[in-house]
Amino acid sequence: MRDGVDATRVVLRSGPELTVGQALLAAPVLAGLTADDLGRRAAAGEIVDADGRPADLAAPSSRNVSLYLYRDLDDEIAVPFDLPVIHRDENIVVVDKPHFLATMPRGRHVTETALVRLRRELGSDTVSPAHRLDRLTAGVLLFTLRPEVRAAYQDLFASRTARKEYLALAPADEALASTVTVRDRIEKTAGDLRALVVDGPVNAVSDITLTEVLGGLGVYRLVPHTGRTHQLRLHMASLGVPIVDDPLYPDVRPGLAALPDHGDFTRPLRLVARALEFTDPLTGEERRFESRRPVSG
């Protein structure tokens, strides 16, 4: 790890018909690197295998072997919002993530992520997310501080024993003043921006309740019982009350989606992970953490 950022893992997909160097140059994740770039990194001992041994770029490649190296980081537009710490103890740190900040590095978002910010601010490379929030969603996000407790807290989310509550701003529909439960099947395929409702066994369940009316808009309490990608956004749109400033649902709005890429952070998705509750897997203590991020302002 370097300055809070993990090394890039590259899985070689070519056999001995190529050298290790040629196989690395063919890897999509390293697009833009030249043979000279790789040569300099190899000479500095910065391309290593899983055991930390320097790679020989001239050696024959082997399929499915993992190598690790550091990429030069692109300049990223800074997300101009803070990352307040709600709670910290020896095992976990809970933050109030702002809109537009990704949970962890992915694609072009690397340093402007909650994970890298926390590692740098806390001076610890062992910080790790126990779960994720979408980049456009704000609110309560939990990280672990020690590797030995990571699995216990991650299991809270994998087993769905952690309880989550969200707030959303959307067109007001008085028919939703009584809780409506949406049950369907959601699938998302790689390369497709949007998730889709498809036929098949139910895998996505959400409780949706209108709690307050603000002019023509309403504040909704959302309780997901499953964790499919974009579940709450898709369920709100399916009820005819899409979340304010959602760039994907019910329709893709490229202009809205592109605003933060030009430094315009004035139109966040109005969705906030308001509260997180769970029984602490190590102490047995009942925990509840709440976001102070507004959904309507």
Which residues are paired to 166 by β-bridges?
Answer: 222, 273
List the catalytic residues: 134
Distance from the Cα of residue 123 to its chain's centroid: 21
Closest Cα partner for 241 from 203, 211, 205, 200?
Answer: 211
Burial class (CB in 10 A: 0-12, 13-18, 19+), 253: middle
Closest Cα partner for 5 from 86, 65, 80, 69?
Answer: 69
Inter-residue contact 57 to 39 (CB < 8 Å): yes
